[in-house]
Structure 1
Amino acid sequence: MPRFSVVVPAHKVQGFLRVCLESVLDQSYGDLELLAVDDCSPDASGAIIDELAARDARLRPLHLPRTGGPGPARNAGAAHADGDYLLFLDGDDLLAPGALAAIDARLRESGDPEVLLFGHERADIWERVSPRDDELSLSGPFAAFPAAWNRAVRRDFWQLLPGFGDGPYEDLPLAYDMLLAAAPGRVACLDRVCVIWRERRRGSFTTTPGRQHFAVLARYDEVFAALGPGPGAAAPSSSNAGRADAAGPGQTTGPGPGHASLVGTAHAVVYRAMADRLLEVLDDPRRIAPADRAEFFREAARSLRRHRPPGYAAPPGPEGVRLRTAVAGSYGAYRALELGAKAARTLGGRKNTAARKAYAQYYRTQLRRPVDENLVVYGAYWNRGVSCNPAAVYRKARELAPHLHGVWVVNRKDREAVPEGVDCVEVNSRRYWEVLARAKYLVNNANFTGEVIKRPEQVYLQTHHGTPLKHMGMDLRAHPAAGKSISFTRLLGHADQWDFSVSANQHSTEIWERVYPSDYETLPAGYPRNDAFFAATADDVRRLRAALGIQPGSIAILYAPTHRDYQRDFVPPLDLARLARELGPGHVILLRAHYFYGAARTAGLPEGVLDVSAHPSVEELCLASDALLTDYSSLMFDYANLDRPILVHAADWDTYRAARGVYFDLTAEPPGLVLEDEAGIAAAFRSGAWDAPAPTALRAAFRSRFCPYDDGRAAERIVRRVLLGEPGLLPVLPLPERTVAPSPRQVAPAGSPPPDHAVSVLPDAAE
């Protein structure tokens, strides 16, 4: 029988659940079982639970047939628990490192009480930690925030309790009930942060406005009914009464089973907690909608008057003024107080911040015109041209939705590279602001330039442009080399504009939902740009190689190193001259420098190396190559679809990982051979080890994990779902049933003549 049973209910938390469960399984104290309860979640929460359960036998999955809410899900998990103590943790929160060891030590020190309360921290998306809601060292158990997840409960004692309710704020009454039901001397405190409560921006109960939040009023009515009439109505009935809020750490308290009233200052402590909670809910627009604020205020004021202990004095300072104003019951006075505080903050900010420049009058005028239902605006790589996932969507839309007119936004210097026949506008031109204001659909793999206002009628599709190995989005705040030029406020504002976010795999889905926290719908559709890998034929592969000047029978190695945030200029991590010499005749290196550096940085390359950095299609380069050699570029995830060899040059892995941050250890879960230097890479090709059974098996596992949706129909899925409004997504062809483009070694007969002109395997954008 384990010491601890940790119960985690999970519903629509796929972006947070994995790290939550790992925070339990990675505890230094390992005598535990983890009961993860899939509350019939419509996302991949259940799959994440099953995946981790397959790795660690301590995780016991439980899948409920229908959604019941967090309360019933916790009850279901507790019913299957075997541990001495129960702990409850929400699926988007974290158990602090060392928490279970500290809890176990405190339990033993205090004689294994029925309830142990411990501290927590609130951390928002900026990782700003709010002041603790509970100071157990000062006020004792009844000062603890009334929640399910800040206490350990003896399982035999839990079985005497009624369990959690099934409505909003379901844990609030039970949090107090268990303190009242505990036997005298059987409640203890641990004044240590054991749980990190992660406040989500969107998607959680506390960030969803609606009248369901009125339930907090009824829950506090239940609490005070259990507490009794208050200290002024009756004398203490036992020697323990009135001590609940005065106990410090190490003391055990409790009014005892059946005790009908809680007297002394504990009643005031609970009242103050209620006042803070009700006003917090009232003032939070993510919970109470503007139309409901006045009604909620009136109901809260009645509760504050009804449950106020005799002689209760409001605290000093602004908080006391807020409370007295609320108790008085005048919403007008409370609103005036609130507006006064807001005006003071605004005036203070204007002393240090210049007013934003007003939008151009032309843009404001266009925003008042009707939306053009047949207009789509596309952008890629910060306006560098027609490419990547948006380009594949554009081509498929011309085929399936010819009534839609697509316009590309491009930088002035990139306009000449736009294919003939493609309508485009320059960034910050008059027409740029016109089409952004009026287009029904916005499609991008990064973001649009300028302060773009997304209208409610518009639909924004974020395609992204790679699977994340390195840290992205809000995770970059911890990495100044990469995040120094990023405005994270603008980043969040941009994510708030998205209606759809494309995902190539479950790994990406989890990362995007956590680092770009907003209300968009994730489309597990695959990356449209990878459709080319399934459309290309043997003739296409031959023609692409000939157009690049690759001699028949040669092994073409696509070398695509990623950029380093700590390097200003492009410095190839490999000595390409040495590598070309070591490889010898019959090999050619196709150098694809990262677009951040530009093609001009690759001048003076040795014989045997072709600079393809300026080639317009990386997909064509992949099709023309026999193998990919990279370090940490996300291109490896796309290339894996081709089921061709991938080699990883990881000489500076530790430096890269420390500087940028990564989501998994690539050297432990690689798509093929991991090599340190030029000699090792060349030896792998000369010996045939580059395509031997061992790296082939690694590639198969990598492909299975990161290429679940790419089957050649990703663009069609997206066009039908987003641009045509069809419900659902087209089914995905299973991996074994897919037919990918043949490799060069399968199609290139010796001495094949090159074509007399360059041929593109991708459809012309103007077709």
Structure 2
Amino acid sequence: MSSADLSSGQPRISVVVPVHGVEAYLATCLDSILAEPYADVEVVAVDDASPDGCGAILDGYAARDPRVRVVHLATNVGLGGARNAGLAQATGEYVWFVDGDDWLPAGSLAAVRERLAATRPDVLIIDHAEVFPGGRVVPRPSAGALAGHATPLRLADRPHLLRLAQSACTKVVRRGLLDEAALRFRGGWYEDVAYSHPLLMAADRIDVLERVCYHYRQQPQGRITVTRSDRHFEVFDQYAAVFAAVDAAGGRHDVFRPELFRLMVNHYLVILGNEARLPDASRREFFRRMVLDHRRWLPAGGYAVPDGVTGLKHRLVERDNYLAWTTLRSVHRTLGRVRRGRTPSAPAPAAAATTPVPTVSTG
């Protein structure tokens, strides 16, 4: 046992790793966690009925390192269900969800453990970076998120924390908070939406570690953000769960309604405008669902409509004007081609791509 052992007074961390179809990346993920010799860190790896060799790889690691425990699921339950299964077996005071195709940069566990010991937050938000094929690394910092505020703090002190990445992987969470708030992952796509926002609203002590402690692999295959499917409609159920949590709080979370509403519309617009997600024939129906949610969840006191083109799109949703939205997207796409030096083609159909909105996760 190293000098950084249980006697250090640092809280025990359970790293929950859901695994499915990531055989090529799994060793990198596990090695990045186990490379730091802390006896008070456990890895709960969940084999979500992976069709490849992931199960055998996990068993091999467990045989060599007592910090690794493996849960084999008989049937595939999806990312949210696999995380829940790992959480049920976790024994640490804090839980960190790390996807099986991602990894932790060197020194991340040490930095996280030190910060947890110093501030004992309910939630520690960490910075992350996206790593693209070829090795290009793009940091996504939270710089300025806590400017002018001492930590830990409550979300009411800094509601803009809701604008940080929705990913569960960028939040190290006190296990007791998840039990106190009865918070688990929902099934379906965009499962982080109905986890991350209620988590931050429930927390009394939030801290931010402005250090890249997570590398998020950007791979073109297998990601829902590049999968054409009607399953993208599942995002509506995730946001319904978010606002149900607000409603159930008896007014305590009403202050967050405007920001949550703005983020919701932004997120819907990203999905609607991305030609790699929705089938063309489904776009009008998706827009109709956006309009219904706009009417259903619009805060009584309104909200801060974004500036520029994004704000214009918000207004088009408010006015249920799908035709104007398709025209705007066609013009925007044509102008984009001109800026890139390409010859403009005929106006694009309704499936034209949109520019991602930077204040909302597109996952």
**TM-score normalised by structure 2 residue count:** 0.79
Give SS of 2:257's match.
helix
Closer, same or farther in 2 for the Cα pair 1:302/1:144, shift >3 Å? same
SS at match of 1:137: coil
> What amino acid does structure 2 have at the position aligned with 1:177?
P
Kept in 1: contact 2:194–2:238 (CA 8 A)? yes
Residue aligned with 1:159, SS:
helix
Aligned-partner residue type, residue 121 of structure 1: A
2:245 — aligned with what? 226
Equivalent residues of 1:13, 1:92 under 8 A apart: yes
Structure 2 residue identity aligned to 1:119: D
Greater length-normalized contact order (CA 8 Å, ≥ 6 residues apart): 2
Residue 127 of structure 1: CA displacement? 4.6
Counterpart of 1:8 in structure 2 is: 17
Q: What is the RMSD of the two structures over their aligned residues, measured on CA atoms?
A: 2.7
The aligned residue for residue 259 of structure 2 is 269
What pairs with 1:295-314 in structure 2 (closer than 5 Å)? 295-309=285-299, 310-314=301-305
Q: Which residue matches 2:191?
A: 170
2:129–2:215 CA contact under 8 A, matched in 1: yes
> Partner amino acid for 2:311?
G
1:26 is the counterpart of 2:47 = no
1:402-446 per-position Cα deviation (integer Å, ceiling 9, x unaligned): xxxxxxxxxxxxxxxxxxxxxxxxxxxxxxxxxxxxxxxxxxxxx
Q: The residue matched to 2:133 in structure 1 has which SS?
A: coil
1:143 partnered with 2:151? no
Change in CA separation of 1:305 and 1:134 when aligned onto 2, cut-off 3 Å: farther
Change (3 A) 1:326 1:30: farther
* 118 and 304 in structure 1: CA distance in 2 versus 1, 3 angstrom threshold: farther
Match of 2:55 among 46, 49, 63: 46
Choose which of 290, 312, 316 in structure 2 pairs with 1:321.
312
Alpha carbons 2:262, 2:303 under 8 Å: kept: no
Q: Compared with structure 1, are the counterparts of its residues 297 and 122 closer, same or farther at alpha carbon in structure 2 (3 Å cutoff)?
A: farther
CA shift, 1:299, in A, is 0.8
Q: Which residue in the other structure is 1:341 paired with?
A: 332
Identify the residue that residue 125 of structure 1 maps to in structure 2. 133
Aligned pair in 2 of structure 1 residues 129, 330: CA closer, same or farther (>3 Å)? farther
Contact 1:141 1:189 in 2 (8 A): no
CA contact (8 A) 1:302 1:327 kept: no
8 Å CA contact 1:28, 1:98 repeated in 2: no
- Amino acid aligned to 2:290: A
Distance 1:300 1:55, change over 3 A: same
Structure 1 spans left out of the alignment, 5+ residues = 230-257, 354-767
Distance 1:337 1:144, change over 3 A: same
Q: Who is 1:572 aligned against? A: none
Q: 1:176-198: CA deviations, max 9, x gaps?
A: 2223333xx43323233322222
SS in 2 for 1:7: strand
Quote the Cα distance in structure 1 between the aligned partners of 2:108 and 2:29. Answer: 13
Please identify the structure whose Cα radius of gyration is greater. 1
* CA distance in 2 between partners of 1:300 and 1:324 (Å): 12
- 3-state DSSP class of the match of 1:94? coil
TM-superposed CA distance for 1:132, in Å, is 3.2
Shift of 1:134: 5.2
Deviation per residue, 1:267-288 (Å, 9 max, x gap):
3332232222212222223321
Work out whether residues 262 and 304 of structure 2, in 8 Å CA contact, stay in contact via their aligned partners in 1.
Answer: no
Amino acid of the structure 2 residue aligned with 1:156: G
> 1:314-351 deviations in whole A, cap 9, x for unaligned?
22223222333333322221111111111112123336
Counterpart Cα distance in 1 of 2:50 and 2:24 = 13
Is the CA contact (8 Å cut-off) linking 2:130 and 2:217 kept in structure 1?
A: yes
- Structure 1 residues 132 and 302, CA gap change in structure 2 (3 angstroms): farther
Change beyond 3 A, Cα 1:124–1:271: farther
The question of 1:59 aligning with 2:68 is answered yes
Does the CA contact (< 8 Å) of 1:200 and 1:207 recur in 2? no
CA distance in 2 between partners of 1:297 and 1:41 (Å): 35
2:18 match: secondary structure: strand
**Which residue identity does 1:331 align to in structure 2?**
Y
Give the distance between the partners of 1:180 and 1:73, measured in 2 at CA: 24
Write the letter of the residue equivalent to 2:31: E
Distance 2:96 2:265 in 1: 27
* Identity score, percent: 38
Shift of 1:29: 5.7
Q: How is 1:630-641 mapped onto 2 (pairs within 5 angstroms)?
A: none
Q: Deviations over 1:516-544 (max 9, x none)?
A: xxxxxxxxxxxxxxxxxxxxxxxxxxxxx
Contact 1:40 1:67 in 2 (8 A): yes
Structure 1 SS opposite 2:235: helix
Contact 2:131 2:137 in 1 (8 A): yes
**Is 1:35 paired with 2:44?**
yes
SS in 2 for 1:9: strand
Q: CA–CA distance in 2 between the matches of 1:56 and 1:69?
A: 26
Is 1:154 aligned with 2:174?
Answer: yes
2:169 aligned counterpart, secondary structure: coil
Aligned partner letter, 1:90 = D
Structure 2: distance between partners of 1:209 and 1:106: 41
Q: Which has the higher helix share?
A: 2
1:277-426 matches, cutoff 5 A: 277-309=267-299, 310-350=301-341
| 1:216 CA displacement | 0.5
Counterpart check, 1:113 vs 2:116: no
Q: How many residue pairs get matched?
A: 321
Aligned residue for 2:253, secondary structure, equals coil
**Counterparts of 2:296 and 2:140, CA distance in 1:** 28
Residues 37 and 61 in structure 1, CA contact (< 8 A), matched pair in contact too: yes
Q: How does 1:406-555 map to 2 (within 5 A)?
A: none
SS of the residue corresponding to residue 306 of structure 2 reads: coil
Which residue of structure 2 lines up, in the alignment, with residue 398 of structure 1? none
Structure 2 CA distance for aligned equivalents of residues 303 and 148 of structure 1: 24
Contact 2:183–2:199 (8 Å) recurs in 1: no
Q: CA distance change for structure 1 residues 127 and 268 in 2, over 3 Å: closer, same or farther?
A: farther
Distance 2:129 2:272 in 1: 22
Query: How far apart in 2 are the matches of 1:127 and 1:280?
Result: 26
Q: State the partner residue of 1:193.
A: 212
Secondary structure, counterpart of 1:34 in structure 2: strand
State the secondary structure of the residue aligned to 1:341: helix
Q: Distance in 2 between matches of 1:134 and 1:271?
A: 21
* Contact preservation (8 Å) 2:139, 2:212: no
Secondary structure of residue in 2 paired with 1:121: strand
Residue 133 of structure 1 and its aligned partner are, at CA, apart by: 8.1
Amino acid at match of 2:93: D
Displacement after TM superposition at 1:225 (Å): 2.2
CA distance, structure 2, for counterparts of residue 131 and residue 341 of structure 1: 27
- Quick check: 1:177–1:226 contact (8 Å CA) kept in 2? yes
Amino acid at match of 2:305: A
Q: Quick check: 1:17–1:45 contact (8 Å CA) kept in 2? A: yes
- C-alpha contact 1:226 1:261 (8 A) present in aligned 2: no
8 Å CA contact 1:29, 1:98 repeated in 2:
no
SS in 2 for 1:95: coil
Q: Hey, what's the Cα distance between the residues in 2 that align with 1:289 and 1:48? A: 37
In 2, distance between residues paired with 1:71 and 1:204?
A: 15
In the alignment, is residue 80 of structure 1 matched against residue 93 of structure 2? Answer: no
Shift of 1:129: 5.0
Task: Kindly provide the CA deviation profile for residues 428-472 of structure 1, in whole angstroms up to 9, marking residues without a partner as x.
Answer: xxxxxxxxxxxxxxxxxxxxxxxxxxxxxxxxxxxxxxxxxxxxx
Partner SS for 1:350: coil
Q: Give the equivalent residue in structure 1 for 2:354.
A: none
Structure 1 residue aligned with 2:222: 203
Other-structure match for 1:537: none
The whole-number CA distance in structure 1 between the counterparts of 2:242 and 2:73 is 29
Q: Return closer, same or farther for 1:224/1:127 CA change in 2, 3 Å cut-off.
A: farther
In 2, distance between residues paired with 1:212 and 1:78?
25
Are the aligned partners of 1:40 and 1:64 in contact in 2 as well (CA < 8 Å)? yes
Rate the CA distance shift 1:4–1:334 in 2: closer, same or farther, 3 A.
same
What is the deviation of 1:162?
Answer: 3.7
